[in-house]
Amino acid sequence: MAAVPEPRRFMTKVARMYYTHGIRQVEIASSLGISQARVSRLLQAAEQAKIVRTIVVIPEGLHAEIEEDLQKRYGLSQAHVVEALDPNDEAGINRDLGEAAALILSAMQLSGKTIGFTSWSRSLRSLVSTLEPSKKRSTATRIVEMLGDVGPPQLQHDSTRSTQRFADLIGGTPLFIRAPGVLSSAEMREAMISYDVHTREAIAALDELDVALVGIGTCNIDAPLEPGGNFFTVEQFEMAKSLGAVGQINLRFIDAEGIPIVSELDSLVIGVTLAQLPAKGGRFAVAGGRSKYEAVRAALRGNWIDTLVTDMETAERLLRE
């Protein structure tokens, strides 16, 4: 079943927080990253839609209780669970998650913020393709790529277009990293950053992130990514796995408990470090599917995510363990 369109998702979530759990409107606004006025409007809309009567009626296709269980289990600010049409179709899952995440992101206050964006993520590119133009626009808003170029030229082109479109939709300024995501040596990395003023500007902005749309990946090479060149080789991925890596966040490897795997590979990456991710409340992940389960679980255990958009099968598995 496809994700239920907004605003019913937020109407339901806000109604449960307010009426069922007794959370004040100002606290709801802070937790969800929206204005108190928006909370009030959502509560009024929930009454008009008959979601709020004497109890909160959860519309078909939403999973408020599972989402709340995920939030409690993993200390999340928000969890959003989407019914995937086909659990075996990971491309379809990425598309479904991205579409749902676009509706969630559109309710957040992003104007004037510095937003890190993982442009090579399929689910995040799906998010951008679905996102509606923001009514609140500010030239102070910055969209910063969090990793250099990876993959073949067509993927690089698609990633660049996605970053530009994201910035256009919310009225911000894009900051690109037009350099390989992975270099052959630390010296080559430093030379590449020193050579290009625009890359240096983007790298500096990563220290000022308010929101980070992170990419969660496996320790394997999935098409259209290719080994070597601007990406890790098969041997480098095997080395990371030998050190205990089960997944990676923007090519920063973590073990099953979410603890960073420190190795020479870190010095080869042009992109955000785990230490540069924003403080609690600004780490947004859109990830699911069977192949990414271990990586998603590790990211949750390491508290690298505040908001998670995932599929039902992944959510249920996360709660069983």
Query: What's the DSSP call for residue 258?
Result: S
Per-residue pLDDT tens over the stretch 142-163:
999 999 999 999 999 999 999 9
Query: What's the DSSP call for residue 306?
Result: S
pLDDT at 111: 87
d(CA 111, CA 133): 12
Q: Strands of 252-254's sheet, edge to edge?
A: 216-217, 247-249, 252-254
Does residue 11 contact residue 44 with C-beta atoms inside 8 Å?
no
* Phi, psi values for residue 269, rounded to 5°: -95, 130
Does residue 13 contact residue 32 with C-beta atoms inside 8 Å?
yes
Does residue 215 contact residue 259 with C-beta atoms inside 8 Å?
no
With both helix axes pointing from N to C terminus, report the angle between 122-130 and 153-170 in degrees, rounded to the nearest 10.
40
Q: How confident is the model at residue 300 (pLDDT cuts 50, 70, 90)?
A: very high
Write down the mean pLDDT value for the chain: 91
For residue 195, with 0-12 CB atoms within 10 Å meaning exposed, 13-18 middle and 19 or more buried, which class applies?
exposed
For range 292-298, the mean pLDDT: 98
Helix, strand, or coil here: 107? coil
pLDDT at 273 over 70: yes
Of the two residues 261 and 109, the one the predictor is more confident about is: 261
Question: Which domains does the chain possess?
Answer: 1-60 (1.10.10.10), 63-320 (3.40.50.1360)
d(CA 279, CA 94): 26
Determine what percent of the chain is predicted with pLDDT higher than 70.
95
pLDDT at 225: 87
pLDDT at 286: 97
Per-residue pLDDT tens over the stretch 42-76:
998 888 888 887 555 556 557 889 999 999 999 99
Of the two residues 79 and 280, the one the predictor is more confident about is: 79
For range 13-33, the mean pLDDT: 88
pLDDT at 4: 47
pLDDT at 193 over 70: yes
| Global pTM value | 0.81
Least confident of 110-119, 137-146, 172-181, 300-309: 137-146
Helix%, strand%, coil% for the chain, nearest 5? 45, 15, 40
β-strand pairing of 211-214 with 216-217:
unpaired
* Phi, psi values for residue 316, rounded to 5°: -65, -40
Query: What's the DSSP call for residue 272?
Result: -
Least confident of 38-47, 169-178, 194-203, 263-272: 38-47
18-27, 154-163, 218-227: range with highest mean pLDDT: 154-163
Give pairs for 300-305: CB < 8 Å, separation 24+. Answer: 300/74, 300/76, 300/258, 301/74, 301/256, 301/257, 301/258, 302/254, 302/257, 302/258, 302/259, 302/260, 303/75, 303/258, 304/214, 304/249, 304/254, 304/258, 304/274, 304/277, 305/74, 305/76, 305/214
